[in-house]
Structure 1
Amino acid sequence: MQGNLYEIDIRSILQLIELGQRTGQLFVEAHSFHKSPQLGRNHTGKNLSWFVFFLNGEIVYATDSDNSLLRLSDYLRHYQVKVQVTEEERACLEVLNAPEYAYLWTLLEQNIIDPIQARSIIYNLVQETLFDLLNLQQGSFVFAVGSALTPQLTTLEITPLLSKIVKQVQQWKQLYPYIQSPEQFPILTDIVNLRSSLPAVTVNKLQHWASGQTSLRQLARYLNRNIVTVAKAIYPYVQQGWVHLVDSDTTELLTNQQDKTLSLQENHKQRILCIDDTLSICTHIEKILQTQGYEAIAITNPLEALTRVFQFQPDLIFCDIAMPELTGYEICEMLRHSQAFRNIPVIMLTAKEGFFDRVRATMVGATDYLTKPFGHTELVILVERYLNYSRGEVIKQTQHLLI
C-alpha cells in the first residue's frame, strides 16, 4: 500500500492497517514548508520522515527521521536518567532500524528504568509521532508488510489513540497564529506585567522554562505532558505579549532576545515593518524608508508577519487591508490585544478610500490610513508624524484623522 496524502489521509491509512490487522512498517515523507499552522518545524526546506511499526494492526512503536537519542533523552529526564552512550555503542545503534527503541531496551535490561516507565515513554513517543502525522496535509507514504519489530514491550490499539490525538490536533489549531509550532522557543518579554498579574511561584516557573533554550515540545517531554496541554497553559501569556515564541533558526534571538526586548537601547534605529501581499509595494516602501535612515523590512505573507513582528519589534507598522489568509483588520486587532503592541502606530494601506473602511479601521485600533498609490514625500511625512511622538500619545492624538 502506497500513495499520496492528498488522496488518503493518515487517519484513514491507520484505520485500514488496524482493520486488516497488518504487521509491518509505515513510512511517511513530507517536504517541510514555512510557518504552517499545522507543522511549523524545520523551516529549512528539507524532507521530513516518520516510521510507525505495527503488530497485528496495533502500534508497537513510532519515531521520526532523527536517529539521534535526543527525543528519548528528553523523556528520560523526567525520570532523572541521563543518556550515556559510548562511541562504540553509538556506532552499533546507528545501523539499527530504530536506535531509540533499541537503547530503551538496553536501559530496561540494565534495570536503569522499569517496564512501567518504558511503556510510558513508548506511549509518549507514539503520541508525539502521530500528532505530527495527523497534522500533515501533504506528503507520500508506503506501508510495507513484514516481520514485527522485536522484542515488543507493549502494543497500542489504534482507534482509541486516534480519537485522543485527533482532539488534540483540533485544540492545537485553535491556538494559531499565536502558537504555530511545537518547536518554537518561549521567551519572557514583560516580566513587570507577569509579576503584577501572577503568583510569584508561577512567574518563577515561567522564568525557568521560558529562557529561549527550551522548545514547547521539549517542555512537554520534561513535564511528561502532551504538547497541547503545555501550549494551552502558556497561550494566555503569549496572547498578552508577555511571552514571545521564536523559531529554532533564530540563534541570536534565543540567546539575546530577553535582554533586547526588556531594555530598548536609546540609540537604536527606528524600525518599521510593512505587511503587504503585493511585492512591488513592499519593495517600494522598504527602499524609501531605508534611504531615510530607518531600519525597514517588508513581508508579503501575513501569517509569517505575525511571527516576525515579535522578533523585529517595530516602532511603526504599515499593513495592507486586503490580503489572503488574514486581512489587515484581523492583524491589527490581534496586535491591539497584545500588551507589547497595544500602542504601536499601525497605518492601514488600501487601494480604495472610503468612509466605512476608515470606520472599521478605527474599530480595530488602526492609527491612520494611507491610500495607494502614494508618493515618496507623502510616505515619509506620515512616518515622521508618528515616530516623533511617544507611542501612548500617538493613539490618543490621531484617531480623529481616520474619520
Structure 2
Amino acid sequence: MTVKSIKPNVSFSLFTASKQVQFIQTLKRIRFSGQLILTSSDQQKWLFFLCQGHLMYATGGTHPVRRWLRNVAAHSPQLTLDRSTIERDLTGFDPATCKTCWQYHLLIVWAKQQKITHEQIAKLIQSVITEVLFDIAQTQQTTYQIKQDNTLSTQLPVIDVEDAIARANQRWQAWHHDLVAEYSPNLAPVIRQPQALQARTSEAVYQLLSKLLDGKHTLRDVAVQMKRDVLQVTRSLLPYIRWGLVELISIPDLPNPIKQEDSKRPPATAQSTQALIACVDDSPLVCHTMEKLLSASGYQSLVIDDGLRAIALLIARKPDLIFLDLVMPNTNGYEICAKLRKLQAFQTTPIVILTGKDGIVDRVRAKLVGASDFLNKPIDAGTVLNVISKHLKQSVVSH
C-alpha cells in the first residue's frame, strides 16, 4: 500500500539541492530495498528503511525515542504509552534479527491487535520521516552507506520519496524564512527569569508557560501538547527568548525500551572489499546513479561516459568488474567487449552488458564476444549488487 498525497508547491532551495536528498531520490529511481545509513561528522546516525524505492520508516538522530512517542501521541491518542505496555508488546522482539527497528515492529503489533488504524500509521510514519529529513538538512555534512536487503516487506503503508521530500522541504523553507532559523526544534525551552516573565504576561499565560516550559520537553514536544505547529509555538516564544526570560537548552533522549539497540551497529557491507567497478555508458544519468550506488555499497567506482575513451581508461585502471552499455555513439558494447577479451589483463574480468533491449539475438551476440552477463535497463539496485556479488565471488574462486 502506498500513501498518496498532494505534493505541495515547493521552490528550489538548499534543502532539495542537498546531496542527502538527491541520494534518496536516486534510491527511489533504482528501486532499492534495504537500509540507507547517514552519519554526521559528530557521529550521529539516521537510518532509512526502503522497499522498492519507497520509504518504510526512518529513525535515529538526537531523539529517536522522544520523536517516536511524540508522534504516536499526536496521531493515535487512543493508545496508552506507559513503559510497561510498550515493554509487554515488545516481548519476544530481538533487535539482532529484526530487519527494521523496534518502533516499526510495534506499529505492526498494534495494527494486528487493531489498536491503531492504517490511516493513523500512514500519518505517523509520514510525520516521523518529515522530522528526520528536516533534522538531517540542519546537519552540515553526512556520509552515506547502504545495506541491501531484498527481503524487506511492506506490512504497513509506505511513503513516496518525492512526497516526503516535498513535505520536509515545505517545513524547512517555512522555518528558515522565519525569524526562528537559528534555533533547532529539538531544543527544550526553560524559564530562567520567572518573576520578569510573570510581570510581562497575564496570569493565565504565565501559568500555562510555567507548566509547559519546564526544560524537560523540546519545542516539538510542547507543540504537540498545545496541539499547535512547532513553528507557531517557537515564534510565540521568540520575544521571551530574546529578552533572556526563556532559554533553549539541549536535553537527552528518553530511555530506550530496547537497550541492546544502543550498541547495535549496521552490519559490515562490501566496503571492506574495495573492489573497483567500472561503468561505461553514454548516459550521464546511468553513470551518476551507478557511481552513487557503488560508492554507498563500499565499492570504488570508475564511470566512463565516452565509449571511444573506454578501452584506454579501463587498461589504465584495470577494474575488477565492468558494466558496459550496449548502444553508444561511434561504438558499441560488442566492439569494446571483443577488444577487451583479446587483452591478457581482461580475459577473465567479468563484463556485464547493459541494455534497454531484451532480445535473444542480443544475448547470444553478447555471449559470442565474451560477455559474462546481461542486465536490462532501467537498472535495479538489488539486481546490480547481486550481479556484482555473484561475479566477484566467481572471480575469487577461479583465482
- What TM-score do you get using the length of structure 1 for normalisation? 0.49
Higher RCO structure, 1 or 2 (CA under 8 Å, sep 6+) = 2
